[in-house]
Each structure stands twice: as C-alpha cells, then as structure tokens.
Amino acid sequence: MGRLFGTDGVRGVANADLTAELALGLSVAAAHVLAEAGTFEGHRPTALVGRDPRASGEFLEAAVVAGLASAGVDVLRVGVLPTPAVAYLTGALGADIGVMLSASHNAMPDNGIKFFARGGHKLADELEDRIETVYEQHRTGEPWARPTGAGVGRVTDYAEGFDRYVAHLIAVLPNRLDGLKVVLDEAHGAAARVSPEAFARAGAEVVTIGAEPDGLNINDGCGSTHLDLLKAAVVEHGADLGIAHDGDADRCLAVDASGEEVDGDQILAVLALAMREAGQLRKNTVVGTVMSNLGFKTAMEREGIQLVQTAVGDRYVLESMKAEGFALGGEQSGHVIVLDHATTGDGTLTGLMLAARIAATGRTLADLAGVMQRLPQVLVNVPDVDKSRVDTSPELAAAVAEAERELGDTGRVLLRKSGTEPLVRVMVEAADIEQARAVAGQLADVVKSALG
C-alpha cells in the first residue's frame, strides 16, 4: 500500500479514493493508536470533529464520528469551521484528538482527513505511519476490540465553537480596525461566517464575496487560488484591502487598494517588522520555505532579520518553529503561522493582523508590502508523471544544471514533488519574467519526457 498520509493529511476524490469505509477505518485506527501511545490514559477520551462545506463532508463526517464513537471516544461535532478553528478548539477544550474534513484549496470533488493531536498540533509522522499500519492490519481481517454498553462514545453538537473561536481571534489582535474598509473573499468555504464576523467585531467595514457555500461551489473561481474577483471588488468598493482565503481558511492572500496581489512572502515581511517592533519576533527570526521569493530573503537581510528556510509544507515550517522557539513563519501560498496565537496556519488571524498593521500605522498596504520587491517567479505544474523519480533522473539533473548556469546569480530553479497531488512543480525565478517563463517551459518539457 502506498503511503496514505501526504504532507497535509489523507486526500483524494471523495467516494472514490476517500471512501466512507476508509474514513471510518482510519478514525478507529487513530483511536487505537492514540490509546496505545498513552494519550487517553486515566480519562474517557474526547475528539473534536469539524469540516468545510463540501457536500462529501456530510457523509465523511458521519463516518469519522461513527468510527471514533465505536472505538469508545466521545465526540464533539463543531460543524463547518476553518481548519485553524478546529486546531484551536482541540487545544482550548482539552480534546485528545481533533479531526478536520477538508481538501483545502482543492476542487470540490476532493476531500481530506487531517488529524490533530492533543493541544491542536498536527500528528507526528510516526503516529500517522502507525495509524496506517494498524488500519491496514484490521482492514485485512484482524477484528477490532470494541467497547459495548456504556463504553461506546457519545456524540454531542458543540455550537459554541463558532463564538469561542471568533472571541479568541479578537482577543489576540494588537489593535482595532476602525476606519478600515475590507473586502473578504471566503472561497465559498469554511470561513464564510467566521471571517466576516471577526472583521466586523474588530471594527472594520466589511464587504463579502464568495461567502455563500452550497456544498458544491467551494473554491470555484474564487478564493486564494482565483484572485480576479477580489481584485475587481476591492477597486469597485474603494476598499483599503482585500483578503482571500482558501476552502478551509488556513491560508490568506491579500490585495492592495489598487487591486495588486500581496502574497504570503510579502505578508510575512509586513508581520515580521510589526512583530519585531512589538518585541514579539523571538530570536529576530522568521521561518520560510525553499519556495520563498529571493526578494523576501533580500528584504529580511536588509532589515537585519534572520530567515530560516525549510522544505515546502506548513508542517515543516511549524516543526522548525517549535524546535527552535520561533514566533513567525509561513509560505508564499499564504500559510502564515503566528505560534503564540495558533498551532497551524490561520488565514483569518493572518488577515486580521495584516489589517491591524495598516490601521496602526496609517500606511497603505502597498506601502507596507513595498518592504520587499518580488523577483519574477514562474511556477509550472506538470501532471501525470512519475514524481518518485524527480530526484534520480540523470536527464532531469542535466537540464536543471544547464538552467542554473543560464540564470547565474540572478535567479534559481526548484523542482519538487507535490505532497498532495500526482504532479511535479517546476519553479523558476529570474530578474526578467520572459527568461523565467522560457526556462520554466523548457524544464517542464524535460520533466514530461523524462518522467512521463
């Protein structure tokens, strides 16, 4: 069996790859593995389960809840809430396990299962591996030990989760947003209620788009992967900024008053300076990934802030932050982690903190984001290739070496396997956009021919 868990939980086409049987089985396996690890010792275990609005989340939630309760775990169902809300509430309520059903920015037919450990942190790789092993053992015939009578888990709806999470967001803001006009694109996703409520309570004038989820329209032409609607709306409404979330609202991209995109690197740069000013940027360090724009690295060097770079994936950013005690980290895609206030990327919190910086300084977002100049960066996704050979193909290695020679010191090349999809990503940075496009196109062709 190939590894079920990718960089961000288990993902696939709902009811094809990700079935009710798989969701139920993994949930039972997770309960047994965590019991085995001593997580439940001395008390009756509790799990917290949330989802995004995808239609498939309805039956997958039922399967996960059934699996956990059948294994003797009491379940709090929080309904449709962002991934970071589920992580926060798992910690705040002292739950032993959190489960989020979402495929984040993926298209509607996909869904995913993400497990959180006690405290709201992502499960360690070794626990995920153990869950897979235990699931596979029992899938092929070994019967589960099942509680009966009063030993089965009880299921309760926890409607208070919404207010508790919004109150948390407001409580950690450094200042109010009075006087700011913000357009929010909720991607018809998990933050469709939470984010507008939080911004309004913080004092902002709020305009929403993409805030009418029907189970089928999540990420459809809107949200952080499709910024055109938000750009137009910000200009049309004369707003100070726009904020775009993805389907599960663990990421945030922004748009300035003139409709220009402000990406995750720029948001990190703005927040790094704000947190340093407030004495909150521990060790004067921000954590990025190997995909961070060279312009971000240059800006941090100029400002005297250290940049630590990890593999791509917010879990690796988080691991570095926790290991070294850093306070701020994130990705160009808009996953930003403020570790004092969240255990995972939180798009609503990020948007609120960015808006708070604008309100506190009286400067425009364009002015604040101007602390860094983005080098042109081209990303080409090459689907339907054998991504496992990306590091071992001699043909590909030669093409990359040639591209690096051509770019010299003014750019760079990065090839990486997607952690959640069957594709290879080709990233090229160069001082000139046309050169970046040309080199990326050439490399994508080689990836197709070498790995196809």
185 is in an annotated binding site: no
What is the C-alpha to C-alpha distance for residues 337 and 349, in angstroms, rounded to an integer? 9
Provide the CB-side half-sphere exposure for 1 (13 A, CA).
12
Contact by Cβ (8 Å): 166, 195? no
Residues 6+ apart with CB under 8 A from 128: 5, 115
102 is in an annotated binding site: no
User: What's phi and psi for 9, nearest 5 deg?
Assistant: 85, -160
Task: State the alpha helices, DSSP H only, in 93-226.
Answer: 125-139, 161-172, 194-201
Catalytic status, residue 70: no
8 is in an annotated binding site: no
β 336-338/328-330 pair status: antiparallel
Tokens of 196: 């507008």
Question: In whole angstroms, how large is the CA radius of gyration of the chain?
Answer: 22
Determine how many CB atoms are found less than 10 A away from the CB of residue 59: 16
Catalytic residue from among 27, 56, 102, 104:
104
52 is in an annotated binding site: no
The position carrying tokens 């139920």 is 24
The position carrying tokens 């030990």 is 145
Tokens of 404: 């690096």
Task: State the alpha helices, DSSP H only, in 262-313.
Answer: 264-277, 294-303
Q: Which residues does the annotation mark as catalytic?
A: 104
User: What residues form the annotated binding site for Mg(2+)?
Assistant: 104, 246, 248, 250
User: What residues form the annotated binding site?
Assistant: 104, 246, 248, 250
